[in-house]
Amino acid sequence: MARILAIGGAHIDRKGWLDGPHRPGASNPGRWEVEAGGGAFNAARNLARLGHQVTLVAPRGGDAVADMVAQAAEDAGIEDFPLTFLDRATPSYSAILEPDGNLVTALADMALYDLIPARRLLTSRLRKRLAEADLLLVDSNLPESALAALAESAAEIGLPLAVIAVSPAKVVRWRKSLGKIACLAMNAAEAAVLTGTHAASPGEWPAILARAGLAGGLVSAGAGPVAAFAHGATSLLAPPPLDRLEDVTGAGDALASGYFDGWLAGGSLEANLARGIALARLTAGVRGPVRPDLSQALLAQALSAMPKPTQIKV
């Protein structure tokens, strides 16, 4: 299995579950659930449970929330390498969800991430971790200058860089570094903001993103077809319908995790994409952004039991 250095968001997800359909402008009965989350952290936990050796580097405050994140990292078998600010609060993501798991709205309190300078990520200790890694996995939570420095450092040593977009507002931080990214996992809204272009169909995204300078990527659209491309090849698969949707939080990170897991094992583009879809389905079927019971055996079982995704001609 691979050695992965994951850098980015590791914070707290607060999810408000509505008891009934959302009523705008009104008080909606429901309940809160709190757990660890974050794009890089969700993917890191998935990949660690799939057997990879994962080191996490993430900013954190000096509060009880930071302890919860540290415990979640330990539970997943991750080597935790926090960048701690004792006088700050650990970032949080608060979402309101319909009873069927669909997102109503969300608020991201991520100010701490903006305080990370590039030099904090390029110490001798972290450069050593970069040199030892097989993959650098980064989300878009950190400042543009820090992300650019990581991309440059990875390019200098020939280390593949995989990126999770996180949001339309943050994915644009990679515009000047697209040529240094091996794979960027995003949804259609993030792809549109990144490129300033709207695709008429999912199959158009690979060509649009390649023209923007990206060598490989994943573009999802909720339950719609997912496009993957790398080295001039393209695959477009329509996921089978879910039997039950429990929680969409973390499904996109799971899609990327499954794809990266297959990619690291040398799988084909279509096989890697199907693997990502299987893991996204597994994750959307439970509460929370990750599956605590995830393993290679569980993923293989889910992949074999899943109806074959429909391949769409590009």
- What CATH number does the domain containing 114 carry? 3.40.1190.20
Q: What residues contact 128, with CB distance under 8 A and at least 6 apart?
A: none
**Is 25 inside any structural domain?**
no
What pLDDT, on a 0 to 100 scale, did the predictor assign at position 307? 84
pLDDT tens-digit series, residues 9-22: 999 988 899 999 99
Q: Which of 41, 35, 54, 33 is nearest to 10 (CA)?
A: 41
What pLDDT, on a 0 to 100 scale, did the predictor assign at position 245? 78
What pLDDT, on a 0 to 100 scale, did the predictor assign at position 213? 97
**Is 81 inside any structural domain?**
yes
Cα angle 248, 252, 253; round to 5 = 115
**Is 307 inside any structural domain?**
yes
Question: What is the spatial distance between Cα 311 and Cα 314, in angstroms, rounded to a whole number?
Answer: 9
Question: What is the spatial distance between Cα 133 and Cα 89, in angstroms, rounded to a whole number?
Answer: 30
Low-confidence ranges of the chain (pLDDT < 70): 314
What pLDDT, on a 0 to 100 scale, did the predictor assign at position 199? 95
What pLDDT, on a 0 to 100 scale, did the predictor assign at position 314? 65
Range of the domain at 38: 3-20+30-311
**Is 75 inside any structural domain?**
yes
Q: Do residues 29 and 19 make contact, with C-beta atoms less than 8 angstroms apart?
A: yes
**Is 110 inside any structural domain?**
yes
**Is 206 inside any structural domain?**
yes
| Tally of structural domains, the chain | 1
